[in-house]
Amino acid sequence: MTRSKPPADAASFWDELRRYTPARIGLGRSGEALPTREVLAFGWAHARARDAVHTPLDAATLENDLRTAGFDVVQAASRAGDRATYLRRPDLGRAVDRATAIRLRRGGFDVALVVGDGLSSLAVQRHAAPLLAALRALLEPLTLSPVVLVQQARVAIGDEIGERLGARLVVVLIGERPGLSSPDSLGAYLTFDPKPGRHDAQRNCVSNIRPEGLAIDAAARKIAWLVHAALDRGLTGVGLKDESEAPILDGGGASLPR
């Protein structure tokens, strides 16, 4: 096997590769250390990631965005009373507080919609409302719950919320753990027959939803395909594979199950 040699101009070589990835490649060196510009860039990226974790969700603005898009909204909270507790006690972020438990009413919904701040309020603030707006049209004629907007939330809090609402399936949109190049990545977790005690192998996840990752429209279509397939087959998790982009005879992507 032959290998192509880097061009004489190393800077041009790495610049060409950086067109295809935001990863930190070809950083160079100054003596035995990184160049000052790379040290500063690392510090800036790290600060953005920390801000994504610690910046509180502007729940009022997000509720207004969701209501403008035509959704009913229920404000909720986990048992983690503040951010410090949330970070130290993941178990408290998986259960709703007493006030929320009283507020949630059974409705016999096909799909419960839950939005949680998770580890990146930035992701939720930017992408949750447009994603739900794109998703709603693809989920017809299913019955949808009001959007339950939860602060200090972990993924599994959707299990309790889905059970309290009497939903057949829950979709949890939540801010993912920030990376140095992705502080605003949104994740979507689907669980059929939600109830406390479900584990991660019983969920499907659509990850990295953001303009530089999986675009809103593509994410909505993938989630909708999984929702319809889950309700048809009565399961989510390792038994439900994402075949939304499987090739079919006419050359297009796979159709929705219904």
Backbone angles phi, psi at 69, to 5 degrees: -80, 0
Instruction: For residue 155, say whether it is annotated as part of any ligand binding site.
Output: yes
Cis peptide preceding 141, ω within 30 of 0: yes
Instruction: Determine if residue 205 is labeled as part of a ligand binding site.
Output: yes
Q: Where are the alpha helices (DSSP H) in the chain?
A: 10-18, 36-54, 59-68, 83-88, 98-103, 121-138, 157-165, 216-233
Q: Which two structure tokens, joined as six digits, stand for 158?
A: 């959707």
Instruction: Specify the pairing of strand 203-209 against strand 186-192.
Output: antiparallel
| Sheet with 111-116, side-by-side order of all strands | 73-77, 144-151, 111-116, 169-175, 186-192, 203-209
Going by the annotation, the residues of the binding site for adenosylcob(III)alamin are: 155, 176, 205
Going by the annotation, the residues of the binding site are: 155, 176, 205
